[in-house]
Structure 1
Amino acid sequence: MKKKYQGTTRAKRQQLQLLRSEFETLRMKSGELVTDYFSQTMAIVNKMRIHDNKTEDVTIVEKILRSMTPKFNFVVCSIGKSNDIDELSIDELQSSLLIHEHKINKQGK
């Protein structure tokens, strides 16, 4: 019985390691929409949480802010200055970035 579940634990640990690596290397691509990037990021986070990883929202918010494309640099700076990152929820961040993305796209047209 012990050997049977030991393999499962090892497999879960390896899967979690792979997901952590994927989370850390994930970057927003040029031209990618904010909603698509958030969906991709949250899909990885949810898989990590299934494997009992306790990733906190502040870690996810910081990761997203670090990995935005350069066209969002001024937005990231203003969000960092105007909000307490420790208190900012993922939904609030996404809403803010969507508003700025809409303004950027509107100005481009």
Structure 2
Amino acid sequence: MATENNSFVQPAIPRFDGHYDHWAMLMENFLRSKEYWDLIENEILVAAEVAIEAQCKTITDLKLKDLKVKNYLFQAIDKTIIETILNKETAKAIWDSMRLKYQYSTKVKRAQLQALRREFEILSMREGEKVDEYFARTLTLANKMKTHGENMKQSVIIEKILTSMTLKFNYVVCSIEESNDLSTMTIDEL
């Protein structure tokens, strides 16, 4: 007789990596799967002094659930960030604090990335600029884009460099394109 195995892998608690929108989506899904999301949407209310016994039991249960949610949030958040939210009484207060601090920075990063993409798009070698200087300028811009979340392949950077060099390098660019596979070439090889 075969025994049925009802065990399953517990989902990992999403770690906050600085990208608030992505983390918040994963964390919301995690908390919903644990049936704790209502504590983020609706903060628990403290019991009135003259609460009846049933209300006290309900409030005690809610406080325990809130402590569990706070525990999940503390596990998801880096120690340096936790130190800034330790004074928050409830899971909702922690969540709101994280949203206030980091959602805005995510929007700023997104706007900065758009500006960097625009700058990369119009980037070209200046007349009289040395090749090494142009490489450095292009790679600096590409690295800034990567730090803002852009997934940029080396082949894109290589193509940008080759297509945006001054006309006096046309023969070199043609030679490189004819003799190499640009999709596998590295920047160092270029």
How many correspondences in the alignment?
93
- Looking at structure 2, the residues matched to 3 and 43 of structure 1 have their Cα atoms a distance apart, in angstroms, of 31
Q: 2:129 aligns with which of 32, 45, 57?
A: 32
Q: 1:61 aligns with which of 128, 136, 158?
A: 158
1:38-95 deviation per Cα after TM superposition (whole angstroms, max 9, x unaligned): 11111111111111211000000000010000001011111111000111111111xx
Which structure exhibits the higher relative contact order, with contacts defined as CA atoms closer than 8 Å and separated by 6 or more residues?
1
The percent identity for this pair of structures is 53
- Looking at structure 2, the residues matched to 76 and 67 of structure 1 have their Cα atoms a distance apart, in angstroms, of 10
- Looking at structure 2, the residues matched to 91 and 74 of structure 1 have their Cα atoms a distance apart, in angstroms, of 20
**Between structures 1 and 2, the one with greater helix share:** 1
- Looking at structure 2, the residues matched to 27 and 64 of structure 1 have their Cα atoms a distance apart, in angstroms, of 8
Can you give the 5+ residue segments of structure 1 that lack an aligned partner in the other structure?
Answer: 94-109
Could you state the TM-score of these two structures normalised by the residue count of structure 1? Answer: 0.82
Structure 1 stretches of at least 4 aligned residues deviating more than 6 Å after TM superposition:
none
- Looking at structure 2, the residues matched to 50 and 73 of structure 1 have their Cα atoms a distance apart, in angstroms, of 32
Can you give the 5+ residue segments of structure 2 that lack an aligned partner in the other structure?
Answer: 1-96
Q: 1:3 aligns with which of 75, 84, 100?
A: 100
Larger of the two Rg values belongs to structure: 2
